[in-house]
Amino acid sequence: MTNIKAVIPAAGLGTRFLPATKAMPKEMLPVVDKPAIQYVVEEAVGAGIHDILVIIGRNKNAISDHFDSVPELEVKLQQKGDHGRLERVMKSSDLADIHFVRQGEPKGLGHAVLRARTHVGDGSFAVLLGDDLIDESESLLAEMIAAHERTGAAVIALMEVDPEQIHLYGAAAIESTDDDGVVTVTGLVEKPAAADAPSNLAVIGRYVLPPSIFEVLERTEPGKGGEIQLTDALQELAADADGPGVVGVIFRGRRYDTGDRVDYIKAIVQLAVERDDLGAELRPWLKEFAARL
């Protein structure tokens, strides 16, 4: 177990999934039969984190309700003898110590992270973005926490993407280190045009940050899209030779992007096909369906 707390920003408007997200937060969209945010909470718990702060916005009560217990539902399932479902329902309320804070106005990811300052205090913390799901077989977050403990630096996760996709991400300039899979980040740009990108290494939604990031965020001016960008605050840390610096852990594993509709559908299909309870029925149908396309 680690003393590191996790922060999950979940205050976005979810416009790409309208009208589904008109009254429901996008973090509650099911990926097979679990809301996306539960995968992220389970990932944090899997890395030894037990204190989780979710930054919520308007219309987000469904998220806090999801992590609450529902005694009447539990009694019903108990009476029916449906122990499998009972266990799954209870799991979401027993996972971790989950706290909530409101963002108020949605002024960007950097602003959302700043809302965690009081709860986090003066310890290091992890940030997990709900649009990126990391396969449960991966140990990315644990590796990032270990890299932070070794170096004291802010740690970001980097993944190679097609150069034409880099405008969707923060992009990093890097130098290699003696530490396998860990690089020094010398610069960061939020969502650059392909021609201006320092590399095709994209920042994916996992961060392990020192508390000094809060002071930087406090003075970070709105950047790309008029929003306060976490990438801009990290760029300041990367450029400051006297500060903790920024390192990147290169991730080559399985990640699902649930923020994009096509990738969201792919994630559901992939995860369902691998499930013991669903895969056997789904695989032959999927083959037949694909042959008809």
**Binding residues for ligand G1P (CB under 6 A):** 109, 129, 131-132, 169-170, 190, 202-205, 229-231, 259
* Cα distance between residue 24 and residue 59, in whole Å: 7
If the CB atoms of residues 56 and 204 are measured against ligand G1P, the closer one turns out to be 204
Q: How far is the CB of 233 from ligand G1P (least distance, A)?
A: 11
If the CB atoms of residues 25 and 170 are measured against ligand G1P, the closer one turns out to be 170
* Cα distance between residue 77 and residue 71, in whole Å: 10
The encoded tokens of residue 107 equal 């002024």
If the CB atoms of residues 46 and 106 are measured against ligand G1P, the closer one turns out to be 106
If the CB atoms of residues 66 and 255 are measured against ligand G1P, the closer one turns out to be 255
If the CB atoms of residues 124 and 229 are measured against ligand G1P, the closer one turns out to be 229
Instruction: Single out the residue of 110, 126, 101 nearest to residue 217, CA to CA.
Output: 110
- CB nearest ligand G1P: which residue? 170
Instruction: Single out the residue of 235, 205, 242 nearest to residue 220, CA to CA.
Output: 235
Q: How far is the CB of 125 from ligand G1P (least distance, A)?
A: 17
H-type alpha helices, the chain: 36-46, 61-66, 71-80, 83-94, 109-114, 117-120, 140-151, 213-219, 230-239, 261-274, 279-291
* Cα distance between residue 116 and residue 54, in whole Å: 9
Q: How far is the CB of 206 from ligand G1P (least distance, A)?
A: 9
If the CB atoms of residues 77 and 153 are measured against ligand G1P, the closer one turns out to be 153
Supply the DSSP symbol for 123.
S
Q: How far is the CB of 95 from ligand G1P (least distance, A)?
A: 23
Q: How far is the CB of 151 from ligand G1P (least distance, A)?
A: 21
If the CB atoms of residues 10 and 41 are measured against ligand G1P, the closer one turns out to be 10
* Cα distance between residue 153 and residue 238, in whole Å: 9
Task: Decide: 183 and 248 in contact? Cβ < 8 Å.
Answer: yes
Q: Which amino acid is at 159?
A: M
- Number of Cβ within 10 Å of residue 222's Cβ equals 14
Q: How far is the CB of 24 from ligand G1P (least distance, A)?
A: 19
* Cα distance between residue 104 and residue 113, in whole Å: 12
Q: How far is the CB of 97 from ligand G1P (least distance, A)?
A: 25
